[in-house]
Structure 1
Amino acid sequence: MSGQAPFHAPDAAVIERMARDALARIPEPFQNYLSDVVLIVEEFADDETLDSLGIEDPFDLSGVYHGRPVGDKSSFDSGALPDRIHLYRRPILDEWIHTGVPLATLVNHIVVHEVGHHFGLSDDDMHALEDGAD
């Protein structure tokens, strides 16, 4: 053996720390609307989530926002589950390995994308914003 430590894939706790750091960097006034969003890191999306999005391969989904966009909420809402951002560790790691993008950069991109859904932006809206920022 060459004396190098074996490579270990980052666990869910590492990805969660990166995601929390990404959330903390989102500026005001958006930050005010994120305090109640729950962040969850799981290995893969469940079948119900994949089916609802029409996704067959669980490696094709690295994150998803569950909840109602901020603009659709009402002070009369009650009893609803909290808004949640789910990150899926195995697809994130797969994308990290295949793209060579630094893991923290990739996690940041996914978190910002899901926060965009929290604010009611569509995937097309976010791609247009990203393209305009390049």
Structure 2
Amino acid sequence: MTPDWSAATAPSLDEFQRLADEAFSRLPEAFRRLCAGILVQVADFPEAEVLKELGAESEFDLLGLFQGVGLAQDGAVSMTGQMPNMIWLYRRPILDYWAEHEEMLGGIISHVLIHEIGHHIGLSDDDMEAIEAAVT
């Protein structure tokens, strides 16, 4: 039976935030402990300054971003006036990627989340792949 997509809509920012929170809750406990104090936020697109700083050609080029001081850069020590570490997931670029690939939306969100947390922790691509394999 073919699903009826005629009434389907893309997840809102709030729904996307819930998907991100669910993806985070499925990560291994030891991995989540390393994320203490990190805020996970969802926005439709990255801010113009971020795109310019990263040399992105389009607002669709960036699926997620870690902003802050990672553990690999001594981010375990908080300094006065320092903004909290944040992971941004960009809804519209992720939805665009999802529409163009044969992957589940939850899997894409998990992948981006793990990748951005990996930047905070200082993990290698192989380490991130191993964590991603453990989640799926």
Q: Is the 8 A contact 1:22 1:112 kept in 2?
A: no
Q: How big is each residue's C-alpha offset from its partner over 1:57-96, in whole Å with a ceiling of 9 and x where there is no partner?
A: 1111010000111132253622200000011111000000
SS at match of 1:16: helix
Identity, % of aligned pairs? 34
Alpha-carbon RMSD across the aligned residues, in angstroms, is 2.3
Query: Quick one: distance in 2 between partners of 1:118 and 1:58?
Result: 23
Task: Report the TM-score, using the length of structure 1 for normalisation.
Answer: 0.83
Query: Quick one: distance in 2 between partners of 1:76 and 1:59?
Result: 32
- 1:52 is matched with 53
SS at match of 2:46: coil
The offset of 1:25, in angstroms, is 2.0
Query: Quick one: distance in 2 between partners of 1:41 and 1:25?
Result: 18
Q: 2:102 aligns with which of 83, 100, 103?
A: 100
- 2:129 is matched with 130
- 1:43 is matched with 44
The offset of 1:130, in angstroms, is 2.7
The offset of 1:26, in angstroms, is 2.2
Task: Report the TM-score, using the length of structure 2 for normalisation.
Answer: 0.82
SS at match of 2:87: strand
Q: Is the deviation greater in 38-47 or in 73-82?
A: 73-82
Query: Quick one: distance in 2 between partners of 1:32 and 1:48?
Result: 31
Q: Is the 8 A contact 2:114 2:128 kept in 1?
A: no
- 1:14 is matched with 15
User: What is the one-letter code of the residue matched to 1:115?
Assistant: I
